[in-house]
Structure 1
Amino acid sequence: MARITTVLTLVSVPVLASHVAFAERDKHGSNGQTKQNGNATDDGNLSSTVGVIVYDRSKNGSGDSVGPVTSTTSWTPPACWYAPKYTPAQLKAYLEPIWEAGSTGYEWDAEQRARYVDGHPYKDFNKDRADKGYWWDSYVNKDFPPGWDKCKEPFFWVDKGDPPPANVENAVTPKILAELAYNEIRVPSTKVTLAPANKTKVNLPTWAWLDGAKFKPVSVTASIPVLGISATTTAEPVSLKIDPGTSDAETYPASGVCQIKDGSIGEPYAKGKSDETPPCGVKYLRSSGDGSYPLKATITWKIHWTGSDGGGDTLPDGTFGATQNVVVQEIQAVNR
């Protein structure tokens, strides 16, 4: 499979990436609404940000019915983080028009000039260090999840190869990249194959299985090339849970949780197994009448990450499910 690498940038037109964009925290008194502003290059033109995150999704799930996993806990990926964003020329080109407009007030503008121009503590936007580092700033998830406003630090300078100030929370690390990559994981649909197909019978064990070829580990790698850091987040399927859609049913096994073994999820029905108990399936005890039962199949994915710094750990399990209608008839039959 060809390597697919997506670079996400802040531009002055709508972001083209389908899943993740970045919103820049407003530096001049707004209420934090999303801004798709870019940064200025050394010649003053708008361009991509320095610390943009690159997502490699070439090992992600694919197909028409893929979807994101939902954490089994209250955990969510970071709402905001800090990373390199501007060169000295870019920061100057970004801030000076704001000051000249006067819309932010003389006092605020004067404080900003003192900080970034007059040497308290930075002199002339650190132009004399232009090849030695970058101005860092916050990036905010596009959907503004709870906590996006935690990143309130003003622009700060970091030399190349140096860590960000210790007192800055949410400065980007491989772990943060791994957590952001979690949000980019896509897994296959969990619609199960049933036997009998389409319609089953009351008190007849119905076999359920999934195409094991579709359920293999998937992963997404997030990186910031300018910092030389990256993290790969991997999701592996571990179990399938069957919810029959009615209390008038029994599941196989009784817990309704079918463990995945050697990539196999359940077992396809084969002729001659009518007297066997399915390793994964359901038995309906009552007819669905003129309607159907909404059987839901949910896969649980174990998720872990490894980072370019040698770090790694687990992240909360994720789930992804799909519902399908099952018609149950009163007529007794033998499944052969």
Structure 2
Amino acid sequence: MEEYILRTINLSKKYKDKLIVDNVNMNIRRGDIYGFIGENGAGKTSVIRLITGLVKITSGNIILFNSDIEENIKTQRKRIGSLIESPALYPEMTAYQNLEAIRLQRGISGKQEIDRVLDLVNLKNTKNKKVKNFSLGMKQKLAIAIALLGDPEFLILDEPINGLDPVSIVEIRELLKKINKDKDTTILISSHILKELNQLATTYGVISNGKLIDEFSSQDLEQRCKLSLDIKVDDINRAVIIIEEQLNTNNFKVIKDNTIKLFDYINQPGKVSSVLVKNNIEIQQIMTNGEDLEDYYVNLIGGCKNV
């Protein structure tokens, strides 16, 4: 039986008369790296703030570590590390001093924990440099280090690679993969850099206008976005029969506008065309097609907004 770290049941948040989180049903399994996708203002940060208890729920429920009792959830949140928007940093202090202040505030034992997280985010050599003199990327790394204090079981990161240079982005990606693999840490990460998220996430949730409109695994995404030979014909029924009988494949699907998505013969459009034309099938269009996460997201959101 699958173990869920987090489930939300019709989670909603209303400010005055505006519903900004609308009946969200999110499901995050232990060990997931859950990529949370949505345009600015879609509701990502609001959902995260509800999960972490920073704002009050209007309606619906949260089940966190298998508990839906409010008092228990407050206790279970101690097992979460989070980076939400821009954390408050003490500019006149060093990275070490900032982490020590947070460590004491949270009651986390052992100063060695500070060295551990500084090493993880590659800030161990900042020594006496004050945070006010950090680059934006260094500040973001420090914020991630704060989220990692105490070795949380569930890590929630809201746009964690904002401001990072390409090298630092790769470092953070590899760090998150490592702690997910080595410690089975479950991670919820929102990002607008979808190509990067595509290299990290195992599961995705897409939110638009406060509604979670889709959840899918990386395997689902691969199937939905895999390369195909898209063939638009005049007689879809006869074309299907010819493909099955003469090309010996049923690895295709029929979509709208008399189009067949053929997942075999991707690199042999000439052969496919020849077989169809010899059987008096008029080919109106034939092209190789495929999507990545960004393409899929844009099409999904575009479709949702046009409903």
Q: TM-score, normalised by structure 1?
A: 0.26
Structure index of larger Rg: 1
Whose helix proportion is higher, 1 or 2? Answer: 2
Whose strand proportion is higher, 1 or 2? Answer: 1
